[in-house]
Amino acid sequence: MLSDTLTMELDRYRIGPRIKALRLAKQMGLAQLGQHTGLSTAMISKIERGQLFPTLPTLMRIALVFGVGLDHFFDQKGPRMAVARKAERIQLPISGTEPRSLAYLFESLNYPLTDRKMEAFVAEFPENAVPSEPHQHGSEELIYVLAGTLQVTVAGGKVKLEEGDAMAFDSAEQHHYQRVGTEPCKALVVTVK
């Protein structure tokens, strides 16, 4: 059973309607396509109606009949978009400066979007979190503190951010984060590649 997010993402490609359009353009019936591919007419009908998503080998069988490549089915038409449902996101731990320590947990907000030009995360800094390891990446970063207090160190300079504060900086510089105080701390982090 596919999750709602996976179903929505696969629906965007409109593979079934693309197969049906190819079949109708060749004036081919379901039974004829079934004979050429070895697939049942019921399966082809379900694929065309979006009730079933074909595996890549199945899709390749269909593509060969029509003389198209797999890219024919994955060429994006329309706006690029993706939904990352809260229930389906995974929190990943980031180690701190001390052995077997936790600096923060993060979850990607835009992981389903392909060829993304930015990364968006929610970072949660739990109680007893230690400073994160200094790191650098990409070209730019924006941090917006959703709750609590966060100290951001960039190239040795320290900035304390309170709830509602935002900071943008060159993420090619060494930087790290540290929770300040006892209140829960959470931040939105956006990086540009």
How far from the centroid of its chain's Cα atoms is residue 51's Cα? 24
Question: What pLDDT does 76 receive?
Answer: 66
What's the confidence (pLDDT) of residue 132? 93
- Where in the chain are all domains bearing CATH 2.60.120.10? 89-192
State pLDDT tens for residues 105-157.
999 998 887 778 899 999 999 988 999 999 998 799 999 999 999 999 999 99
Question: Order of strands, edge to edge, in the sheet holding 175-180?
Answer: 157-161, 149-154, 175-180
Report how far residue 192's alpha carbon sits from residue 53's, in angstroms, rounded to the nearest whole number: 33
**Range list of β-strands (E), the chain:** 92-95, 102-108, 118-125, 140-147, 149-154, 157-161, 166-169, 175-180, 185-192
Domain with CATH 1.10.260.40 in the chain: 4-74
pTM of the full structure = 0.65
CATH number of 89-192: 2.60.120.10
Q: What pLDDT score does 77 carry?
A: 65
Q: What pLDDT was estimated at residue 19?
A: 93
The confidence score (pLDDT) of residue 1 equals 67
Which CATH fold topology does 4-74 show?
434 Repressor (Amino-terminal Domain) (1.10.260)
pLDDT for res 146: 98
Residues in the chain with pLDDT values less than 70: 1, 76-79
